[in-house]
Amino acid sequence: MHISFLLHNAYGIGGTIRTTFTLAGTLAERHDVEIVSVFRHREEPTLGAPPGVTMRHLLDLRQGSSTYDGTDPDYTRPARVFPRGDGRWKQYSRLTDARIAAYLRSLEADVVVGTRPGLNVHIARQAPRGPVRVGQEHLTLDSHGYRLRREIAHRYTLLDAVTTVTEADALAYRTRLRLPDVRIEAVPNSVPAPAVAPADGDGTWVVAAGRLLKVKRYDLLVKAFSKVVAARPDWRLRIYGGGDATGNERAALLDLIARRELHNHVFLMGPVHPLEPEWVKGSIAAVTSNRESFGMTIVEAMRCGLPVVSTDCPHGPREIIEDGVDGLLVPVGDEDAIADALLALINDDEFRRRAGAAALKASERFDPARIAERHEALFAELVAGGVRVRSRSALRDVVHRSRGAVLDAAYALRYRAADAVRKGKAA
């Protein structure tokens, strides 16, 4: 098969880029695979181009390049096709509308795969009859605002399939949207086997990783760890990851560490790549998020032989961790439960080593070859089934836009009314 992935920016860093590169590189061992990046802002991909995969881009944003597109008048004109509800909308333009449309019109692939909602909408609206159209959801339906969910419900009817990274999110797509002729399949992200030997479980480090964002609740982890230190002062915590744009979360965590007098026990390590050598220095991984679209760091830690203490948050942890076997699940936001779970593994050497070995074994199901086989089987089945006829009725679009305008107005009224009530209470 000839498979074409449409990616926002293959030259940056992010979970979607990493998982797309891994999947594309694995599929390229048996198929003709390309990654088409809407934007290119540097010479080489930060994560390195996947082997055997053709790379090309649609807009060149490299300053000084002979093909620089930043001066094109359409580059500053707002996009019409890329949906406003997608968080990347301001980066798209009339120029991206035209370039993506031209790419899709010239496409000779058997399968075209979008990797974010805005690009899935482009594929639904602009791809010609012929290639199978697949939209990937790398976050969750619930994580999108009402405007984007409405666009998804309308536009995704023109796709052949939607893949989610969890069964819970697949269920949301099946039950909350009317997509009767669209195949909805849950296929988790893949994580390659690390190039380092797995952890031996003898170290006295707990490791956490991910961007320093409020949703990750590292403040909760630090507070819980202060209780761990009170019982086992020989154990320490490392948190890997860059901060948000403001740096406020990092500053708040450093202040919390100082107030709890944990400066000898809790360390903010900053971003590190690759992370595998750091995982294996630890004996336990910790995830304290309020929500996860999947839980890549859980799988990464397990692939390095670490049992994981994780909040039982939507959507991914429960589908990855077998509670009491290869990790422990605790209620969201429960500081005491996090501390107790960490201490259960810390104080029982045999349990910790047994859970680490189980985590290493269980994580094999996320191997790139196994995940690629699932995508490959889905693509092959859809190609063999042929392309169904899909209506792009202009009248249907007009009705959708009109309904959207009414909903936007109603939403604005509700927001203003709620805001007035809040101000009244404050007064």
Distance CA 102, CA 97 (A): 9
User: Which two structure tokens, joined as six digits, stand for 28?
Assistant: 């390229």
Task: Kindly state the tokens that stand for 278.
Answer: 């750091």
Q: The domain at 2-190+371-392 falls in which architecture?
A: 3-Layer(aba) Sandwich (3.40)
Q: What's the predicted TM-score (pTM) here?
A: 0.86
Would you say 196 and 219 are in contact if contact means Cβ atoms under 8 Å apart?
Answer: no
Q: What phi and psi, each to the nearest 5 degrees, are found at residue 164?
A: -115, 170
The domain locations on the chain are 2-190+371-392, 205-365
Neighbours of 204 (CB within 10 A): 13
Tell me the pLDDT tens digit for each residue of 91-129: 999 999 999 999 999 999 999 999 999 999 999 999 998
Bridge partner list, 315: 292
Please state the separation of Cα 220 from the chain's center in Å. Answer: 22
- Contact assessment for residue 374 and residue 187, using Cβ atoms and an 8 Å cutoff: yes
Could you give the 3-state DSSP secondary structure of residue 88?
coil
Architecture of domain 205-365 in CATH? 3-Layer(aba) Sandwich (3.40)
DSSP one-letter code for 11: T
Please state, in angstroms and rounded to a whole number, the distance separating the CA atoms of residues 356 and 352.
6
d(CA 90, CA 409): 21
Same fold yes or no, 2-190+371-392 and 205-365:
yes
pLDDT above 70 covers a percentage of the chain that reads: 90
**DSSP-assigned letter for residue 70:** T
* DSSP helix/strand/coil, 58: strand
Chain Cα centroid distance, residue 147 = 20
pLDDT in tens, the chain (427 residues): 999 999 999 999 888 999 999 999 999 999 999 999 999 999 999 999 999 999 999 999 999 999 999 999 999 999 999 999 999 999 999 999 999 999 999 999 999 999 999 999 999 999 998 899 999 999 999 999 999 999 999 999 999 999 999 999 999 999 999 899 999 999 999 999 999 999 999 999 999 999 999 999 999 999 999 999 999 999 999 999 987 767 899 999 999 999 999 999 999 999 898 899 999 999 999 999 999 999 999 999 999 999 999 999 988 999 999 999 999 999 999 999 999 999 999 999 999 999 999 999 999 999 999 999 999 999 999 999 976 655 555 444 444 444 444 444 444 454 455 445 444 544 4
pLDDT per residue over 368-381, tens digit each?
999 999 999 999 99
Secondary structure tally for the chain: helices H, strands E: 14, 13
Q: What share of the chain is helix, strand, coil (3-state, %, to 5)?
A: 45, 20, 35
Segments of 215-298 assigned E as strands: 236-240, 266-270, 284-287
